Amino acid sequence: MALRFWKRKLPDREEKAYKIEVKVEQGVFDKKVLILLDSLFRKKILKSIDYCVSTGKEADVFRGTDFNDNFVAIKIFRTYTGQFHRFDDYWDESMAIKMKKKNSVIDLWCSKEFKVLQLLSDLEIAPQPIYRLQNINVMSFLGENGIPYSLIKDIKEDLDQKTYDAILSSIKKMYVRGIVHSDLSEYNIMYDDNSKKVYFIDFAQAVSNHHRNAEKFLRRDVENINKFFKSINNIEITESDQILKQILELKH
C-alpha cells in the first residue's frame, strides 16, 4: 500500500527538520498502523496525510486532509512505546470505551482520550473528535490556513491577563463537565491569535473528577499554569490554593 503524502516544497532551512520528520514517519508507521491507515482511506475518513505536526514519546500528530478537503489532525499512538508504564495511575473506568480483550494498553489509552474529547465537544476548548480506530485518533485541526496554532510556550510576548483568565476558566469548565486534564502545561495549550481563544490538547492522561488522584492531578495542572505565567510581566496570578478551592467547590 502506498501512503498518499502531501508533496510540499521545502526551503533549505527546513531540510534538517524534514530529515527528522522522515525518521519519525518511518518509526511510527509500522505494519499495524499502515493497515489501519489504509482502512481509514477506504472508509473515506482520510484523503491524505500531509505532514508531521509534532512528535512525542507516546504519540505523533500529523496534519491530514479529509474527502471534503478540510484539514484534520491525526494522532497515532506508538505501538512500541514504553511510556505507558504509569497507565494504572491514570486509568479511569468511567471514561473507558468497551473494547475487545485482545486490544492493547495503547488502544485503551487512545480510546480514553477520544472519549474525553467527546465529553468536551460542546465546550469548544479542545479538538473535536471525528473518528477513532484502535491506536489512531482523527480530530479537528486547530489552526489557520493549514498552519497549526502556536503553543503558548512559544508566544509569551502575545499573552496577557485575558489569556491566563481564559485558561483558568477552561480548567473550571472541564471540571464541571467532570474532567481533570492531569497533564496540563504550556506544552499542550494552543492559542488562536485572531480570536484570542485557548485550546487544550493531549488528553490521554485525563481522569474524571471522581478519580482517586483527581485532586492531586488538578493541583499539579494549576501549579504548572501559575509557574508559567509568573514568568510573564503584568499578569496578576491567583494563588494555586485559592484556585483549587474555587474549582473543588464546583464538584457535584
Give CA–CA dist 137/110, Å, rounded.
Answer: 7
Q: Which of 50, 60, 202, 221 is catalytic?
A: 202
From CA 173, how far away is CA 144, in angstroms rounded? 25
pLDDT tens readout for residues 146-205? 999 999 999 999 999 999 999 999 999 999 999 999 999 999 999 999 999 999 999 999
**Among 183, 192, 193, 221, which one carries the catalytic annotation?**
183
CATH code (residue 233): 1.10.510.10
Task: Let me know whether 123 and 169 are in one domain.
Answer: no
Euclidean distance between CA atoms 107 and 204, whole angstroms:
11
Residue 127's pLDDT is 98
In the residue annotation, 202 being an active-site residue is answered as: yes
Domain of 210, in residue numbers: 149-248
Residue 38 included in any domain:
yes
The pLDDT score that the predictor gives to residue 81 is: 54
* Prediction pTM value: 0.84
Contact 141, 162 (CB under 8 A): no
Domain boundary among 110, 143, 176: 143
Boundary of a domain, candidates 94, 125, 143: 143
Among 143, 177, 207, the domain-final residue is 143
The pLDDT of residue 96 is 56
Judge whether 2 lies within some domain: no
Looking at the structure, do residues 139 and 16 belong to the same domain, yes or no? yes
Condensed to tens digits (0 to 9), the pLDDT of residues 64-106 reads 999 999 999 999 998 765 555 566 676 666 665 554 555 577 8
Rounded distance between C-alpha atoms, residue 181 and residue 173, angstroms = 11
Say if residue 142's pLDDT is above 80: yes
Query: Quick check: is 165 catalytic?
Result: no
Query: Hey, what's the cell of 53?
Result: 505536526
Instruction: Say if residue 4's pLDDT is above 50.
Output: no
